[in-house]
Every structure is written in structure tokens, then in C-alpha cells.
Chain A
Amino acid sequence: MMRIPLARLVNTQTIALVGVLLLNWILFPGFFKIEWQDGRLFGSLIDVLNRGAPVAILAIGMTAVIATKGVDLSVGAVMAMAGAVAATLVVGGYPGWVAVAGALTVGLLCGLWNGALVALLDIQPIIATLVLMVAGRGIAQLITEGSIVTFSDPTLVFIGTGSFLGLPMPVVIALALMILVTLAVRKTAIGLFIEAVGVNRSAATLAGIRSRLLLIAVYAVSGLCAAIAGIIVAGDIRGADANNAGLWLELDAILAAVIGGTSLLGGRFSIVMSVVGALIIQAMNTGILVSGYPPEFNLVVKAGMITLILMIQSPFAGRLLTWFGRNRRKGA
């Protein structure tokens, strides 16, 4: 089950990622240049990994939620709350690990709240998580009292900007999380349970899956992932910006999952491919930054690229490809 055949890595997602990276290279010849500086790797490619890490982490949790036919709109707001809690705790004199534990607890509680609304009260996920999406940012602003709470706690700063074996910490954390969650869902039956609940919850429940518990757990993981991303983002700028931290990132996370091939109708999902999806999005962002185009083009270029990628992945493109293949064979 865990053997990764090389052929499986050649798919539309990885082709899209390589394509975007090559395009960046054409626009900016120094794109693949990586240097060793101050005990860490330094270069545009590292920026893509580093800046993509928060969305990748969100996408890991989001993918599991979407696979159960749900969605978690609150992750951006949970990021802001986690950052606000961590910053307020260290400013209040608590050690860094307490702040991290506090932020993770908040993320977990938010996830449990979402999960309870969805699994116990049977509220539509989009509405259930919308509650926290709106309220969460307000709570974060209450915690920080509307200002950016700055700190210099070494633990939090290390999580945001430190490095391990030359790689930025956010990348290391995202990678570890990706491997951990992939193992959890593919080495055990949990992945199968998630897909079963996503395809047909009643049938899954009748088949003996404790779907309520599973749903709550999935939302809790998403909340935890959001809290981790929130700590990273706060540590990165050495401050908790309740107004802007994680703003609209829930949409990027959903997009990453969709680019990664996870169906919004539940069922099929791939954690690794969602992370690749997050990297595709970030590769586009970084590419726009180094290309030197005026900022008015940012959103148009991004929208165009995403449309192209989704078109390549669509069943229609697949049919077109087989049709061309058949014709060519006929002609030859």
C-alpha cells in the first residue's frame, strides 16, 4: 500500500507544478539558483516551499474534511486566533512552549466545535464553519485589542523563521505533517472510513463506521492544522496581526485540495497531491513577484493559470486527449 510507484507521481498535478516552475524560470533566469547562506538554503525555490507551507498545512486538514463531503471555512480565522493567543501569552510572560500549547489547544477546540456542529447537530458544513469564520476573526481582534501584538520569543520566532538541516522550519513542519497524516490515513483504515463517509454517510454508518466520531476527529485535525499554520505565520513576522493573518487563506486551501484532485463531493482524496496543489499556487505567487510585472496583473494572471490547470484536469480534456490519441493511431 505504501509503495509509491514512480508512474503515479507523473500526473496532471506534478506536470502543472513543473510547468509553472519552468515558466518562472523563463521569466526569471535565476529562479532555480539556490545558495547556502548563514547556515540555510536561500533562493526562490526555497521561497516557494517556505511561503507555500502555511497553505500546504491548511490543505492537509482541508483535504480530509472535503473528503468527508464537508468544507472548513474557518481555518483562516482559526489561524488568526491561534497567532493572537500565542503572541498574547508570550507577551504576558509565559514561555514559548506554553504559547504553542495554548495556540494548539485553541485550534483543537475550534475544530471540535465545528465537528460538533456538523456531526451532532447535522448542520451543513459550509454554514457550520462559516460561524467561526466570521466570529473567529472578531475573537482574535478582541484578544489582540485590534493592534499587532509583537514579540521576540525565540521559540515562536524559530517556528516561523528558523531552519533545520538548511530547510526553513515551516517546510520541515509541513513535510512532517504531510508524512504523518498520509501514514495515518493510508496505513490504517481511517482513509477508507473517510472516503466511505464522504461517499455515503448513511451507508457508512449502517456498515458500522462511527461516522459522528470520525467527522469530529476530521474537523479537529483541520483546526489543529490551522493553529500550526497560525503559529508559523505569526512567528514569521514576529507579531500577531488579527486583521490580516490567514485572511482568505481558506479559499487557497480549498483550491489546493481541488487542484490536488480531491472531489468536493467527497470520497476520493490525496494528501500529497493537495500539498502539491498548494505549491502550485505559491509557485505562481512567487513567479509573479520575481517576474516584475505590475501588480495590476497579479490576480488576472493567477486566475488565468488556475483556469488552465483545472481545464487540463477536467474530464473533457481527458476525453479530448484519448480522442486525439485514437485519431493519430488511425492516421498512422
Chain B
Amino acid sequence: MSILKKLALAAGLATALSSAAMAADGMTVGFSQIGSESGWRAAETSVTKSQAESRGINLKFADAQQKQENQIKAIRGFIAQGVDAILVAPVVATGWEDVLNEAKEANIPVVLLDRGIDGPEDLYLTSVASDQVKEGRVAGQWLVDTVKDKDCKVVELQGTVGSTPAINRKKGFEEAIAGSKNITIIRSQTGDFTRSKGKEVMEGFLKAENGGKGICALYAHNDDMAVGAIQAIKDAGLKPGSDILVVSIDGVPDIFTAIAAGEANATVELTPNMAGPAFDALAAYKKDGTVPPKFIITESKLYTAADDPKGEYERRKGLGY
């Protein structure tokens, strides 16, 4: 056993030379992922694995197939194995008290990824998530800066009605354009976050607004709906990207192809790298007990045609989106 430990240490040291996060080396971290319901989720999984590898962290991965009981089972399994830390992307917000208390009693820090939970904040070390309101705000600010004082009628493709990202991304965008009287949202409908609904709803918008001649910009709550809508705009004989500006959120590979082709203008990235900041926080915590802030907000970076969309596409296409 001591030989094994020494070997692990040696391997850890070897990677430590190339990696900045020293204290994370040799750590064993359990990761309970929701599933692979979307391309972004698949990308988050693959980025988490590569982040762990580059830091010399031994990652134990459990796919919960969208079921909370599987996640609870996986977390109990991690506790029994005596891992150094646990990452959870919680599938629902409630029902975590018992199992997270067990982790706490075992002195295993828990980091929430991408989604929050309802419950006492001392159940977890920190949570890493994006600020969805800010994503909407960044998209809205881009439009404000782009159209300046020109009159601009915007159509909005919302996400699934009642879903948190749809509510927050709508709110953020409205906040950003609130100060600009020249920008108004004239139509807003749900495209359920899918390409085909995005296309169908955009067709409706175009018919309703005189063949699209009155529309200056499209704001879609995710890139997939924007990709569908771009096809609808082309079918209507207009040029997406110039006749109708297109701004959306997520940063999936296909939107970068569209930006490179001049058919979309901007996207706000929802980074799949939630694990990087989580590992950094864990490393600091393990090293000298630095307690990270309770909520770590990831950057919502804006990408336009000026940000090498072709290169961004190449960087993302292998991530499993």
C-alpha cells in the first residue's frame, strides 16, 4: 500500500510540475452528474473529466440518468469510498438535506455545479453556477451598443415557459434594454429551446410582421432556437445577420459556424467549465482551509465575429455538444 501511495504521489508530483493547482494533486473527487439530456450537459461532463485529468485529480464519475435517487445513491457511495470531495449537479432543488448531512458528518466538502438547492447553505462548501440574468443582460447590452440610437424592433424566442433560464434570460435582456427607448420587444413566444420550434415560431413572427420587414433583431434564449430561426429567416428571403440581427445565449459549436458565415451576430457563452473553478476552490480549501465564497459565478463572455468564431468552433466540436 505504501508503494502505491508513493507511486500516486510521484504521479501527482509529475503533473504538479505542469499544473498550477498544486494542492489538488492526488485528490479523489466524486462527481454525480444529472445525465446527458443536452449537448451542453455532455460538454460539461467531458470538460470536467479533462479538467480533473490536467490537475492530476482522480475523478469518480456517476451518471444519474435524470433521477435524484441515483444521485443520492452515488453520493452515499462516494462517502463510503472516502473520497476527498464531492461535486454534484443537482437534478432537482429539494430533498438533499439527509445525504448532504451525511457527507458533512464524514467531513467531505460538497460543491454544487450549475444548479442550486433549497436548504441550509452550510450543507455545501460552495456552488459554481452561471448568472442567467447576467447572460440576458450581456446579450441586451450588445444590442444596445450595436444599434445605438437607431429604432429597433426585437422579436424574442423564449425558452420553455416557466423554466428558470427562460425567466432569468428574459429578465436580464429587458433590464439591459430598459434605458433605450428606441429598442422595443414587439413579439415574444416560446420555442421550447429546440431548433424545430425555433424555426416554426420564427416563421410565424415573419408572417405576422409583414414578411419580417419590420423586424430589426432576434433575441433567442438559446443558440439552438437561433439556429432554427436563421433558417426561417433565409426561407423568407431575408439575410440573417444583416437584415435581422441575431443574438443568442449558450455558445454551442453550431452558432459559431453561423457567426463565421455572417448569419448570426453574437452569442453569450454559458461555459461548460464549471468544474475548473470548483477544483480551484477545493484545492485552496484543502491546502490551507481557505473558505471560498458561497456562490462562485462563472464568466458570461460575449462572442462576436471578431472573436475568431472558426477557432471557437474547432475548440468546441469535440466536447460532445
A-side residues, CB < 8 A to B, are 28, 30, 35, 37-38, 42-44, 47, 51, 141, 145-148, 150, 161, 233, 236-239, 241, 243-245, 285-286, 289-290, 292, 294-296, 298
Contacts and interface: CB of A to CB of B under 8 A. Distances in A.
A44 B204 CA distance: 7
A292 B208 contact: yes
A237 B225 CA distance: 10
17 contacts: A30-B210, A42-B236, A47-B200, A47-B207, A146-B39, A147-B321, A148-B321, A150-B254, A237-B228, A239-B254, A241-B195, A244-B197, A289-B200, A289-B204, A290-B208, A292-B187, A298-B190
A286 B204 contact: yes
Given A236-B199, A237-B228, A295-B189, A243 B38 contact: yes
A241 B204 CA distance: 22
A295 B158 contact: yes
B307 to A, nearest CB: 21
A146 B204 contact: no
A295 B188 contact: yes
B36 interface: yes
Interface string B204-247: 11011011000000000000100110010001110000000000
Nearest to A141: B36
Contacts of A148: 39, 195, 224, 254, 321
Nearest to A138: B65
Given A150-B254, A295-B188, A237 B199 contact: yes
Interface residues of B, number: 38
Contacts of B189: 289, 295
B196 A37 contact: no
A295 B320 CA distance: 31
A285 B161 CA distance: 15
Interface in B162-204: 162, 187-190, 192, 194-197, 199-201, 203-204
Given A37-B237, A148-B254, A237-B231, A47 B196 contact: no
A42 B238 CA distance: 13
Q: State the main secondary structure of chain B at its contact with A.
A: helix
A47 B204 contact: yes
Contact of B235 (A161, A244, A245): A161
Contacts of B39: 146-148
Contacts of A296: 161-162
A113 B52 CA distance: 44
Nearest to B39: A147
Which of B189, B231, B236, B321 has the most A CB atoms < 10 Å from its CB?
B189
Contacts of B321: 147-148
A147 B210 CA distance: 35
B42 interface: yes
B145 interface: no
Given A146-B36, A148-B195, A289-B200, A294 B188 contact: yes
A27 to B, nearest CB: 10
A241 B196 contact: yes
B207 A44 contact: yes
A148 B197 CA distance: 15
A57 to B, nearest CB: 15
B121 interface: no
Contacts of A150: 254
B288 interface: no
B320 A238 contact: no
Interface string B134-159: 00000000000000000000000010
A145 B208 contact: no
Contacts of B254: 148, 150, 239
A150 to B, nearest CB: 6
Contacts of A147: 39, 42, 320-321
Interface in B28-57: 36-39, 41-42
Contacts of B203: 47, 51, 289
B145 to A, nearest CB: 28
Contacts of A239: 195, 254
B55 to A, nearest CB: 25
Contacts of A292: 187, 208
Nearest to B43: A147
A148 B254 CA distance: 9
Contact of A28 (B188, B200, B208): B208
A51 B200 contact: yes
B1 to A, nearest CB: 39
Given A43-B207, A147-B42, A237 B188 contact: no
B81 to A, nearest CB: 27
B207 A30 contact: yes
Contacts of A238: 231
Nearest to A37: B237
A295 B190 contact: yes
Given A241-B195, A295-B161, 4 more contacts: A147-B320, A147-B321, A233-B196, A244-B194
Contacts of B197: 244
B231 A298 contact: no
B194 A38 contact: no
The 4 closest A-B pairs by CB, nearest first: A289-B204, A295-B190, A244-B194, A237-B195
Contacts of B231: 161, 237-238
Given A30-B207, A150-B254, A298-B161, A38 B196 contact: no
Nearest to A28: B208
Contact of B196 (A30, A35, A146, A237): A237
B215 to A, nearest CB: 13
